Amino acid sequence: MSLWPLGLMVLLFILLFARLRWPLGLALATAALAGGLLQGVPLTAVEQGGLPIPGSSIWRHLVEGGFVYIDPILIMVTAFFFMKVIEENGLLSALTWWILKGLGSRPALLATVLGLFVAFPGMLTGLSTASVLTTGAIAAPPLLRMGLDRRRAGAFVAMASILGVVAPPVNLPAMIICASVDMPYLGFMLPLLLLSLPLLVVCSLWLAWRPLQSGDPAAALEAVERGPLDRHGPRLLLPLLLIAVLMGGPRLFPAWWASPGMPVVLLAGSLLGLVTGDRVRVGAAAWAALRQALPVMGILVGVGCFIQILTLTGQRGELVLTVLQLPAWAAWLGIAVSLPAFGAVSALGSASVLGVPFLLALLGRPEIWVCAGLSLLAALGDLMPPASLACNFSAQVTGEPDYFRVLRRCLGPALLCALWALAVMAASPWLVQLLQGR
């Protein structure tokens, strides 16, 4: 067996997506259908003894693959709804005002906390665009008024958004890799924190500390609406407190506190947010959240179909064997280059198509740590042109007409992120022994 069918599937996908401008999820599903038919998967159920064999047609496999990522889809939809609720009830603007008021005279701390603030939606949704279009859009005007130029402010928002994707509790690239190899998404909190938090601090300081030293906090505060804070006060924070309790309780007291699941946690926070701040138009918020989530839901369904057909036809196993046969230096170079580069098409597709064989190729190392490092490299794909989603949307919210200028500002921090991911994966056996006290 060779990898030429996979190559044809990828070429067809690129043709449909890049040239014909098909939706990403539909292009992936169509490439999967064509690849399956090309390799002999029957279009209709095969008959044996005059009776059709259940589930033998390609449609059954496409449907099954489309439901592989149902858990991340539910998390994403409820997270988008939660972000819409706290945006409309005034919590996000109140948080911005509190941060600027309390830390305006401390530029290093202000840069770090603003980075965390921008990253917050990505931590819940696993999507960089969710951060850019919510907290990034709210933080951009104060950053510009504090002295950052549009390119630097855009790079700040883009890098914080990508690192929010990597940070716990929701890391979609890692979830996709786990679902593809039947590995539970458990035990990722510490590895993801070690990967994302130091980088978030360093990148925030790198891009914003020096301009913030000469900034004017009073001018920045003028760009933030204070009305919700005056009307509701600290009560606005109750949804965040509820989510922290529901997420932290099962981890602190696992013997008697069962986890309700992330979708239920986020939905509970959303319902509480409806009564703790300004009036929220529930129907409009739900519809806006669904519209934002639908394109990514389509991508996840398409990725599931693509992986299902690769597995069914043996192409996934062939890809793993090919990677296993590479010299060690070539495997590490391939990991560092191909995962972010494939993200030019789709960061989630990069995690599913390339993340799985690379994880299996490094099975001698702690799988959770390797998967976490691969997720960071896949998330960097949101910087890659031509789509460059993180830079494109960050340029829009900061008013920069050329997103390539934002991208150039991101190159240094992105290289640092890639090197840190490789270092953590390489040192993962030692890190596990150190954390276990051996």
pLDDT-based confidence at 310, cuts 50/70/90? confident
Residue 272, pLDDT > 50, answer: yes
323 vs 148, higher pLDDT: 148
Q: Give me the helices (H) in 380-402, please.
A: 389-398
Angle between helices 282-313 and 58-66 (to 10 degrees): 130
Residue 414 pLDDT: 94
Residue 24 pLDDT: 78
- Quick check: 85 and 228 in contact, CB under 8 A? no
pLDDT single digits (tens) 58-112: 888 888 888 877 877 888 788 889 888 988 998 888 888 888 888 877 888 989 9
- For the residues 280-285, what does the mean pLDDT come to? 91
Q: What is the DSSP letter of 60?
A: H
Q: Which residues contact 420 (CB under 8 A, 6 or more apart)?
A: 195, 198, 199, 376
Quote the mean pLDDT of the chain.
84
Residue 68 pLDDT: 78
pLDDT single digits (tens) 104-147: 778 889 899 999 999 988 888 888 888 887 788 888 888 888 88
CA-atom Rg of the chain in angstroms: 22
pLDDT single digits (tens) 327-382: 777 878 888 888 888 776 667 778 877 888 888 888 888 999 999 999 999 999 88
pLDDT single digits (tens) 48-69: 554 445 556 788 888 888 887 7
Residue 10, pLDDT > 90, answer: no
Residue 53 pLDDT: 54
Residue 45 pLDDT: 59
**Closest CA relative to residue 113, chosen from 212, 29, 241:** 212
Q: Which residues pair with 48 in a beta bridge?
A: 51
Residue 362 pLDDT: 83
Angle between helices 172-180 and 150-166 (to 10 degrees): 30
pLDDT single digits (tens) 191-218: 999 999 999 999 999 998 888 887 777 7
- For the residues 289-311, what does the mean pLDDT come to? 83
Amino acid symbol at 162 = I
Its sign, for the CA torsion 12, 345, 82, 74, is positive
pLDDT-based confidence at 20, cuts 50/70/90? confident
244 vs 411, higher pLDDT: 411
Q: What percent of the chain has pLDDT over 70?
A: 94
SS (H, E, C) 103-155: HCCCHHHHHHHHHHHHHHHHHHHCCHHHHHHHHHHHHHHHHHHCCCCHHHHHH
- For the residues 163-181, what does the mean pLDDT come to? 89
Q: Which of 10-14, 284-288, 307-311 has the highest mean predicted lDDT (pLDDT)?
A: 284-288
423 vs 52, higher pLDDT: 423
Q: Position of tokens 């972000």?
A: 83
Q: Which residues contact 395 (CB under 8 A, 6 or more apart)?
A: 150, 154, 401, 402, 403, 405, 406
Residue 204 pLDDT: 94
pTM for the model stands at: 0.79
- For the residues 151-163, what does the mean pLDDT come to? 94
Residue 56 pLDDT: 61
